[in-house]
Amino acid sequence: MIIRTFAVVALLLFSLLHTDTSFAEEIEIDIKGEIVNLTQGVGAGEMISVALHVSSLDSLRETQHTFTDSDSRFQFESVGYSPDNLYGLSTIYKGVVYVSDITIESGIAIFSSISVYDTSTDDESIFLSKGSFSITGVDSLNRKISILELATISNNSQLTYVPGSGPMDLIRFGLPEGATNFLFDTLIPAAEYIQVDKGFALVASLTPGTHEIMYSYDLPYNGQEAEVIKSWRYGVENASILYPNGTVNINTNFETKSQDTIGGKAYTIFESKNIAKGAKTTIVLNDLPTPRFFDRISNQFGQMRYEYTGPIGLLLVLISIGTIGIFNTIRLRNRRESWLVGSSESQVILDQIAELDRRFNEDKLDNRLYIDRRDYLVRRLQTISEETEVE
């Protein structure tokens, strides 16, 4: 009886929880908001397209569209709500993409305001509020320095910066000569980059405020010292250079130097403030590690493509056999003063006689065969000597 009662209670609880969950997944909400032009401090106007984006881990992203009314307001009605979903808004105003999150509290969407701005192609208002240059690792075998740079781009105007028509009208960043394995990342909406003469250019619109970018690359080096010239095209308010202790040493003209622990690893940090636009910083990396000879050989074999290992191995065997044969021939000729000085027919016959004598003394030839071959070679040698005298 107790077991039956427990089973009934459990079934009822499961039904209630399932009903609550289904009910929570079937909630519908209204999402309302407006678009405001903060450059002018007024509504952006009517008939501006607004998109609602709903995404979750279990399904593809859904998108709905509507337009602003005469009061610059918009509304999405009866939107299915789940606490597991993410909700966001986007609009395009004067060619620039603007995005905004939606705050939902207790199943109710808070009124959203999307801020937009007038645009400008003038980059005078663009500068870096922060910039860092970090050594993340040194590969001594391949002689590469891994570098990570972070930059916080600031736009202190009330206009959205938009790229100009040419490469020189874009936000540009320099890279050291020879840099490889370039990677770039940012959260700026619709941002891309292109390669330019000595670095890369950011193809993106920058709204007023700050924007983070990150890029990394590998820099080759030859000896134990390398020099990097860091250019600050847009200036920087707070700049830093970081490197892990024990991997490399850095000399630079930054004002302050400190030590800190990041991720359990000790770092040396150089810092400088208010670097002017167009200024350059010289970063000299000292005590770079160089690989030992056997490490380099091992690394070369480790990087060898497997389809080449057979032919290369055979080539090495043939070279070894040839080297041993040449060495033995030279040793028999007893020509220690020079390698590979050339051979005449008489010298070859002398070598053959010497080889016969050696094999006979080692009991590798029977007596009759030894005498016949030696007599033939001696007669041939005499013939060559007579021909040489006649000439």
- CA distances (Å), 243 to each of 63, 74, 80, 93, in order? 45, 51, 50, 43
Instruction: Give the Cα separation of 360 and 337 in Å (integer).
Output: 28
Give the CA angle between residues 271, 273, 279 to the nearest 5°. 100
Q: What is the mean pLDDT of the chain?
A: 82
Mean pLDDT of 248-264: 90
Above 70 in pLDDT, residue 109? Answer: yes
Query: 88 with 65: CB under 8 angstroms?
Result: no
Evaluate whether the domain defined by 2-116 bears CATH number 3.90.226.10.
no
Element at 146 (helix H, strand E)? strand 144-155
Closest to 212 in 3D by CA, of 153, 287, 126, 155? 153
Give me 273's structure tokens: 């403030």
Above 90 in pLDDT, residue 321? Answer: no
DSSP conformation class of 125: G
pLDDT at 381: 77
- Contacts for 296 with CB less than 8 Å, ≥ 6 apart: 141
Indicate the SS3 state at residue 69.
Answer: coil
Please state whether beta strands 209-220 and 180-186 pair in parallel, antiparallel, or not at all (unpaired).
antiparallel
pLDDT at 20: 45
In the chain, residues under CATH classification 2.60.40.1730 are 123-286
Closest to 65 in 3D by CA, of 54, 56, 55? 54
Out of 17-21, 25-29, 290-294, 360-364, least confident range: 17-21
pLDDT at 329: 60
Query: 192 with 215: CB under 8 angstroms?
Result: no
In the chain, residues under CATH classification 2.60.40.10 are 2-116
Mean pLDDT of 74-94: 93
pLDDT at 34: 97
pLDDT above 90: percentage of residues in the chain: 50
Residues 191-201: tens digit of each pLDDT: 999 988 789 99
Q: In which band, very low, low, confident or very high, does the pLDDT at 293 lie, cut at 50, 70 and 90?
A: low
Indicate the SS3 state at residue 159.
Answer: strand
Strand partners of residue 257: 270
The architecture that CATH gives domain 123-286 is: Sandwich (2.60)
pTM value surpassing 0.95: no
- Contacts for 271 with CB less than 8 Å, ≥ 6 apart: 238, 239, 240, 241, 254, 255, 256, 257, 258
- CA distances (Å), 234 to each of 130, 131, 162, 231, in order? 11, 11, 16, 9
Please state whether beta strands 236-244 and 126-139 pair in parallel, antiparallel, or not at all (unpaired).
parallel
Above 50 in pLDDT, residue 9? Answer: no
Q: In which band, very low, low, confident or very high, does the pLDDT at 247 lie, cut at 50, 70 and 90?
A: confident
